[in-house]
Amino acid sequence: MGGKKEDKAKEGKEKEVAGKPEDGKAGEESKVEEKKEVLTPAQVLLSSVGLIEQAVRHKDTRFLIGRVLRQTAGVRKALDAALLTECATAVLPAESSARQVVADALKSIEAGSMETDDGDADKAGAAPPFKDAKLTSVPEVEVFLLLVTIMRLLDHDKLPEALALTSRAVDFICEFDRRTMDHLAARVYFYYAYAHERCGQLRSIRARLLRLHQTATLRHDEIGQETLMNLVLRSYILDSLYDQAEKFRAKAQRPETSRSNQQLCRYLYYLGRIRAVQLEYSDAKDSLLQATRKAPSVALGFRIEATKWLTIVRLLLGELPERAELFHPTVRVPLAPYAALAQAVRRGDLRHFAQVTETHAEAFQADGVLRLIVRLRNNVIRAGLRRISLAYSRISLADVAARLGLDAGDDGDVEHIVAKAIRDGAVDGTIDASEGVLLSREVVDVYGTYEPQKAFDARIAFCLDLHNEAVRAMRFSDKSAAGKRSKIPTEEELAEALEDVVDEEF
């Protein structure tokens, strides 16, 4: 018995000893995490310049430039005018045109930035941040600094300065034909259109956007094609020129696989709006649904705008949107008018529908959906007739008109409205014209119809489309190819091996 107790005590000590290194490792890992250095805005700028030079050397057109844009977005709010001016002076040579352009553009916000910089410098007491910077003549670096300056001007609402700088940046980009500049150029194109839109001048640059899109197509600049195509579509849609937008979309070339998920989401959103205006509600629903699903979770504003149009399209198709989509805490306030509209359509009361439309007319007009809401009147009538036919097996047409909210002087005769609903399949019943009543048939079991088959067919089609898109979007890094190439012996290695074999034979 004593031996067993000693063995158990040894086992307990071993467990305690074994647990100590794990605790120590966990502590060391936490210390390492704490010691992770957070880059300052100046270090981010220098790192971005180095990554751009590396991308140009290796002819990288996506990954390194994408990393530059991501890490710059992380410190965007911390970039001030003095820091950007100092960076341009330290990195760009004196003969660079972008160096002076950046300095001149930032003069309007330099005073306020200098005050904050003085306070930060006093706190940190650090050496000049760009003392180790080297001059570079890479055009991509100039475009990058122009882009960051444009972002800073827009953040400070310096619209005239941003307008002038974006125009000069586009002129500078047009002087080159370099694939390593494509992603930076696409971002400049976006802010070029955004600055003009905020100034109310987007229509004035539509012709130039079309020329830039044509140039990007000829140069096989895929990310530029996608970006410029969306900008042209937006310029048409904001002016309610849906026919011109569809003609341009049908004739313009698009890459088989999208180079940017954000641009793909925007394209699907604009396509859904065009299809909705053209009465192609099924295609509009598919496009808008894909746009909301593919959109990143942080793009809340985009998801709200797409959900607004998706709600209207679903109502036009006779569907009711999910309650969770309209009453989620993050979107409940901006989607409140659309939740009230869906409730009015579900009730099938024309009076309530007219009241909701009048109350939220300004919001609907601002969102550009008022013309679609006008079309919902027939859907409201159908929904009301469906509820009445399910509740009553026999009801007079006068009572039907009263329950639907149809006025006595309504243009459409109640009998004709009910007959049209029966013909379209919205109501299962007959009209007794002699007595002026609506006779409803018994409710048929839905599982005895083709509705379940149609629902499964739609789900299967969606899954197949999702699979095909995933296969088309698959990309493989160059590391695998490099690894395969490294495994293949070169001619020199084969010659040396052959000489060794010959020596061994002799």
- pLDDT of 134 reads 72
Say if 403 falls within a structural domain.
yes
370 neighbors 355 (Cβ within 8 angstroms) = no
Contact 51, 134 (CB under 8 A): no
Q: pLDDT at position 22, please?
A: 47
User: Which residues does the chain have with pLDDT short of 70?
Assistant: 1-38, 61-63, 108-133, 389, 391-393, 396-397, 399, 403-405, 407-412, 415-416, 421, 424-429, 431-436, 439-446, 475-506
Structure tokens that stand for 368 in this block: 């550009």
| Segment 120-159, tens digit of pLDDT | 444 444 456 666 667 777 888 888 888 888 888 888 888 8
Residue 124: per-residue pLDDT = 46
**Same domain assignment for residues 412 and 358:** no
Do both 325 and 427 map to the same domain?
Answer: no
Give Cα separations from 227 to 188, 302, 366 (angstroms): 10, 16, 24
Together in a domain, 275 and 316 = yes
Long-range CB contact pairs, 331-338, < 8 A, 24+:
331/300, 331/303, 331/304, 331/307, 334/304, 335/304, 335/307, 335/308, 335/311, 337/363, 337/364, 338/307, 338/308, 338/311, 338/312
Residue 145: inside a domain, yes or no? Answer: yes
Question: How many whole angstroms separate alpha carbon 438 and alpha carbon 395?
Answer: 5
Distance of CA 211 to the CA centre of its chain: 25
Which residue, of 180, 200, 220, is where some domain finishes? 200
* 131 and 265 assigned to the same domain: no
Quote the pLDDT of residue 91: 77
User: For residue 431, is it within any domain?
Assistant: yes
Q: Determine the Cα–Cα distance for residues 214 and 248; give it in Å rounded to an integer.
A: 12
Where in the sequence is the domain holding 54, given as residue range(s)? Answer: 41-200
Of the residues 173, 200, 227, which one is the last residue of a structural domain?
200
Residue 437 dihedral angles phi and psi, to the nearest 5°: -130, 160
Q: State the DSSP H helix or E strand holding residue 250, giving kind and residue range, or none if neither.
A: helix 242-251
The reply to whether 353 and 401 lie within a common domain is: no
User: Quick one: 83 and 168 in the same domain?
Assistant: yes
Angle between helix 336-347 and helix 376-391 axes, rounded to 10 deg? 50
Do 398 and 368 fall within a single domain? no
Distance between CA atoms of residues 186 and 227, nearest Å: 6
- End-of-domain residue from the set 185, 200, 215: 200
The predicted pLDDT at position 37 comes to: 62
In this structure, are 281 and 421 located in the same domain? Answer: no
The structural domain count of the chain equals: 3
CATH of the domain at 395: 1.10.10.10
293 and 177, same structural domain? no
How far is it, in rounded angstroms, from Cα 312 to Cα 370? 10
pLDDT at 505: 42
User: Is residue 278 within 8 Å of residue 245, measured between CB atoms?
Assistant: no
The answer to whether position 499 is within a domain reads: no
Q: Do 189 and 278 fall within a single domain?
A: no
Residue 169 lies in a domain: yes
Residue in 152, 194, 198 with CA at minimum distance from that of residue 170: 194
Query: Could you tell me if 362 and 416 lie in one domain?
Result: no
Q: What is the pTM of this model?
A: 0.74
User: Considering the domain boundaries, does residue 502 fall inside one?
Assistant: no
272 and 359 in one domain?
A: yes
